[in-house]
Structure 1
Amino acid sequence: MDTLAFITWNPGIELFSIGPVHIRYYSLCWIIGLLFAYLIVQRLYRQQGIKSELFEPLFLYCFVGILVGARLGHCLFYEPGFYLTHPLEMILPFRHTASGWIFTGYQGLASHGGTLGLMIALWLYVRRTKLNIVRVLDNIAIATPLTACCIRLGNLMNSEIVGLPTDVPWGFIFVHNGEAFARHPAQLYEALAYLVIFLAGWLLYRRHRDKVGTGFFFGFCLTTIFAFRFFVEFIKEEQVGFEEGMALNMGQWLSIPFVVLGIACMVGGRWLRKLSGK
């Protein structure tokens, strides 16, 4: 392949470092994504007349739920053999090597686990605040795609979760991975898709605010994000060895239940009306 026809991608993964602490672009993207979600949901709460003191604990619940869920999801879904025999490395940002423990940060976060962790965190949140759980889920779902966009941009900065080799002119050569051939920038595809999903969801909210609390926006978020995730996996490199030869990879199998749940929430039903009080 003629490398001049492609995009050579080789950014530094660190923004800056202070002694042993290294601040990476990936961490910055996570922080920016969570900040966007914080500001958007705060605005939604104000518009819907929800007391500000009920909003304040929401960020902490979401942050812990997403981080713990995403971390455990990666460890248990993708590398159970290693992490079940090294449980401390599942919860600590360190790895044990021949020369001792070293700081690595949390290398490995799964979006499916993060989604499950967020749902559990929101259930605990509504138990404390007594807010309607479907309204809370809808509000969070409006902001979630923008956070997901930022996280995938972080993956792009890390040159991870790459696509399959390609000859399309917008292919990326991930120099950091020691490669001299182009791949699909799957992370960028996802980031752009999630941005579009956020804009579509925000437009729907502005036109149909009455649907907040029905489960529609929660269902829209799950359906669109994980449907795209299912199809984009066909042009992604396998993340772990056991996926080789599988008709559908782990990410696709994990996406199917979320799509089904999302469609069910958009359509509604007796169980959802009971939860929403409508």
Structure 2
Amino acid sequence: MNHIFLRFYLIIFVGFFQLVSSQSSSSGLSDGVLKINNSENVNVKIFASQRGDSLSNAASRNVQNLLVILNEDNVTAESTDQLGSIQNLLIKYKAFNFQFLDKDFKPVDSNLDQKNIENFKYLLKSKRFLKPTDNVELETSFKIWDPIKGIKLGPFMLHFYSLMFIFAFGLGYFIMAKIFKIDGVDEKYLEPFFTWTLVGTILGARLGHVIFYQPELFKEDFLSVFLPISTRGGLHFTGFSGLASHGAAIMVIATTLYYSLKIIKKNPLWVYDRIGIVVASGGAFVRMGNFFNSEILGKPIDPSSPFALLFPQQSSEYGVTIPRYPTQLFEAFGYVCLFFLLWFLYKKTNKKYQQGWLFGLFFIILWAIRFFVEFLKEPQGDEIIQFAGLNTGQILSIPFMIAGAVIMIISKKYKLPKEETI
């Protein structure tokens, strides 16, 4: 247990370090160096933004050697009107003598039809005009996280975020099957468990996000609350871009209660102990999905920090695009550690016979991880609940941690004999 608290102290230290080292930049510019042919260095100011107005203003900035990293949304048009806006924006950059470059810093044709626009990755304004034969690399004191968001399968794209959900539930199914085998539980109870957990996770996470962060959707875009579509500006597919772990936790508790009492007919605490192990592993995959999507970002950070990452694909809700904490990875790492801890306690100790003990520990640690990482996060939406400097995510985590402590205490009343099975 001392190792658990040591991890918490380290997270607190990182949070304190952030308060004294956070980068404050209203300009949204970061420093980098273009290394050309390994013999010439050009110092550049780096800019990226999803906002069209910010991107438009950047074109006329009086900045020497300005390098603009184009966001995926900057060059992808979903309508004729949007294509026209993108073309007008790029015409402005052309008028200010920006050079159009691809992902390898090679000059590309400035033809502004949609297919060619998708080849644009960088816009460079510099006295040093790059040639096709130049070998160019961008060096920065921080890392740049700018991956594609998915795998193209013909006209469709399998987003890595969706793929991480598939991995989460796939691994969860495998882990629970192994647990049922260890406990001597009939496999017929595995399928309904998976079904109810899936329904509870998706529905609860979506409702939780809307209730706690975007309640206006109930009035402005009701269908988007329950379906992966939006009716704003016409009907189009969006995927579920807003999911909240607090909502998922509440709904999974409810669906698991039904599963426990009506289907497997076991003490709900017995099921909760085991579902905590599965959720800990799944949570790590979900946060990795957030990482691929450049969402759930951290606060600005000193560019020289080993944690500093620039997310050119971040959405405008986070403000200026400068190096930030990769809080998705911090949470994912915490959940991986939690999974291995719970699995060890389940396999190597007698705690699985004390119904509720593992679940209580799971609640305390999982929500403590969330609570402390929140100190480094940017708000995920409107902070509807705030108190004593704590944000919505932190305040919602406190009752779960308290509940975990209570469950661990009362678990002493629900001990099972080791030989008991289903």
Mark yes or no: TM-score above 0.5: yes
1:250 partnered with 2:385 = no
Question: Equivalent residue for 1:216?
Answer: 357
Across the two proteins, how many residue pairs are aligned to each other?
273
Contact 2:221 2:232 in 1 (8 A): no
Question: Could you tell me how far 1:245 is from its partner in structure 2?
Answer: 7.6
Measured in 2, the distance between the counterparts of 1:265 and 1:118 equals: 17
1:241 partnered with 2:377 = no
More helix by share: 1
Measured in 2, the distance between the counterparts of 1:139 and 1:39 equals: 13
Question: Equivalent residue for 2:252?
Answer: 118
1:87 partnered with 2:227 = no
Contact 1:220 1:263 in 2 (8 A): yes
SS in 1 for 2:148: coil
Q: Deviations over 1:164-195 (max 9, x none)?
A: 00011221100112765210000000001110
The counterpart of 1:268, out of the listed 400, 406, 410, is 410
Question: Could you tell me how far 1:207 is from its partner in structure 2?
Answer: 1.9
Measured in 2, the distance between the counterparts of 1:93 and 1:212 equals: 41
Identity %: 34
Equivalent position amino acid for 1:109 in 2: L
Change (3 A) 1:129 1:205: closer
The counterpart of 2:333, out of the listed 183, 188, 192, is 192
1:29 partnered with 2:164 = yes
The counterpart of 2:239, out of the listed 88, 91, 105, is 105
Measured in 2, the distance between the counterparts of 1:49 and 1:55 equals: 12
Question: Equivalent residue for 1:129?
Answer: 264
Question: Equivalent residue for 1:7?
Answer: 143
Q: Deviations over 1:57-77 (max 9, x none)?
A: 110010001100000000111
Contact 1:223 1:263 in 2 (8 A): yes
Higher alpha-carbon deviation: 252-261 or 238-247: 238-247
Measured in 2, the distance between the counterparts of 1:149 and 1:97 equals: 32
Higher alpha-carbon deviation: 44-53 or 121-130: 121-130
Change (3 A) 1:244 1:209: closer
Question: Equivalent residue for 2:210?
Answer: 75
1:160 partnered with 2:160 = no
What's the RMSD between the two structures over aligned residues?
Answer: 2.0
Question: Could you tell me how far 1:248 is from its partner in structure 2?
Answer: 1.2
Question: Could you tell me how far 1:241 is from its partner in structure 2?
Answer: 3.2
Measured in 1, the distance between the counterparts of 2:218 and 2:247 equals: 15
Question: Could you tell me how far 1:132 is from its partner in structure 2?
Answer: 2.3
SS in 2 for 1:257: helix
The counterpart of 2:367, out of the listed 207, 226, 244, is 226
Equivalent position amino acid for 1:124 in 2: Y
Q: Structure 1-normalised TM-score?
A: 0.91
**Pair member with larger Rg:** 2
SS in 2 for 1:29: helix
Question: Equivalent residue for 1:46?
Answer: 181
Question: Equivalent residue for 2:275?
Answer: 140
Higher alpha-carbon deviation: 134-143 or 170-179: 170-179
Question: Equivalent residue for 1:181?
Answer: 322
Question: Could you tell me how far 1:264 is from its partner in structure 2?
Answer: 1.1
Measured in 2, the distance between the counterparts of 1:114 and 1:46 equals: 27
SS in 2 for 1:5: coil
Question: Could you tell me how far 1:210 is from its partner in structure 2?
Answer: 4.5
Q: Deviations over 1:113-135 (max 9, x none)?
A: 01111111111112222122111
Higher alpha-carbon deviation: 244-253 or 88-97: 244-253
Question: Could you tell me how far 1:18 is from its partner in structure 2?
Answer: 4.2
Q: Structure 2-normalised TM-score?
A: 0.61
